[in-house]
Chains A and B, each alone.
Chain A
Amino acid sequence: MEIVVLLKQVPATESLIEIADDGVSIKSDDIKWVINPYDEFAVEEALRIKEAHEGSVSILSVGSEKTVEAIRTALAMGADKGILVNVPDGDVYDGLTTARILSAVLKETPFDMIIAGQRAVDDDNFQVGPATAEFLNIPHISMVIKQEIANGKIKCHRTVEGGTAILETPLPVLFTTQRGINEPRYASLPGIMKAKKKPIDMKTITDIGLDPATVGKPLTKIVSLKTPPERKGGIMIEGDSAQAKAVKIVKILHEEAKVL
Chain B
Amino acid sequence: MDFDLTKEQEMIRREVRKFAQSEIAPVASELDEKEEFSAEVTRKMGEIGLFGMFVSEKYDGQDMDYLSYIIAVEEIARVDGSQAATVAAGNSLGIGPIYYFGTEEQKKKYLPKLCSGEGLWGFGLTEPTAGSDAGGSKTTAVKDGNEWVLNGSKIFITNAACELSMGVTVQAVTGTRPSGKPEYTCFLVEHGTPGFKAVPMHKKMMWRASDTAELYFDDVKIPENNILGLPGDGFHQMLATLDGGRLSIAAMGLGGSQGAYEAALKYAKNRVQFGQPICKFQAVAFKLADCALEIECARNLLYKACWLKDHQRSFEKEAAMAKLYCSELMGRVANHAVQIHGGYGLMKEYNVERFYRDQKLLDIGEGTSEVQRIVISRYIGC
> A interface vs B, CB < 8 Å?
34, 68-69, 72-73, 76, 186-193, 195-196
Q: Is B48 an interface residue, CB under 8 A from the partner?
A: yes
Choose one: B14, B19, B48, B62; the contact of A193 (CB below 8 Å). B62
Most buried by B among A68, A72, A189, A190: A189
The 7 closest A-B pairs by CB, nearest first: A189-B49, A188-B48, A188-B49, A187-B15, A190-B49, A189-B62, A192-B11
Q: Is the CB of B62 within 8 A of A190?
A: yes
B253 to chain A, nearest CB (A): 22
Closest chain B residue, CB of each to CB of A184? B18
Q: Would you call B8 and A196 a contact (CB within 8 A)?
A: yes
Q: How large is the interface on B (under 10, 10 to 19, 20 to 34, 35 or more residues)?
A: 20 to 34
Would you list 17 pairs from A and B whose C-beta atoms are within 8 A, ordered by A residue?
A68-B7, A69-B7, A72-B11, A73-B15, A186-B15, A186-B19, A188-B47, A188-B49, A189-B16, A189-B53, A190-B62, A191-B49, A192-B11, A192-B12, A193-B62, A193-B64, A196-B8
Q: Which residues 160-215 in B have Cβ within 8 Å of A in the complex?
A: none
Task: Say whether A189 contacts B18, CB under 8 Å.
Answer: no
Q: Is B63 an interface residue (CB 8 A)?
A: yes
A186 — which chain B residues lie within 8 A by C-beta? Answer: 15, 18-19, 48
B69 smallest CB distance to A (angstroms): 9
Would you give the shortest CB distance from B274 to chain A, in whole angstroms? 15
For the A-B complex, the count of residue pairs with Cβ-Cβ distances under 8 Å equals 46
Q: Which label, helix, strand, loop or mixed, suits the secondary structure of the B interface? A: helix
- Which among A69, A188, A189, A195 is the interface contact of B10 at CB below 8 angstroms? A69
B19 and A73: CB pair below 8 A? no
Say if the beta carbon of B72 comes within 8 Å of chain A: yes
Q: Note all chain B residues with C-beta closer than 8 A to A189.
A: 12, 15-16, 48-50, 53, 62, 64, 68, 72
Q: B47: nearest residue on chain A (CB-CB)? A: A188
Contacts of B68 in A (CB 8 A): 189
- A69 and B10 alpha carbons, distance in the complex (Å): 9
* Residues of A contacting B8 in the complex (Cβ-Cβ under 8 angstroms): 192-193, 196
In the complex, chain B residues whose CB is within 8 Å of the CB of A188: 15, 47-49
Flag if A73 contacts B62 (CB, 8 Å): no
Partner of A76, one of B11, B19, B50, B53: B11
Report the minimum CB–CB distance from B174 to chain A (whole Å): 38
**In the complex, A11 Cα to B14 Cα: how many Å?**
14
Q: How far is the CA of A193 from the CA of B63 in the complex (A)?
A: 8
Within 8 A of A (CB), among B317-342: none
Tell me which residues across on chain A come within 8 A of B16, comparing CB atoms.
Answer: 189
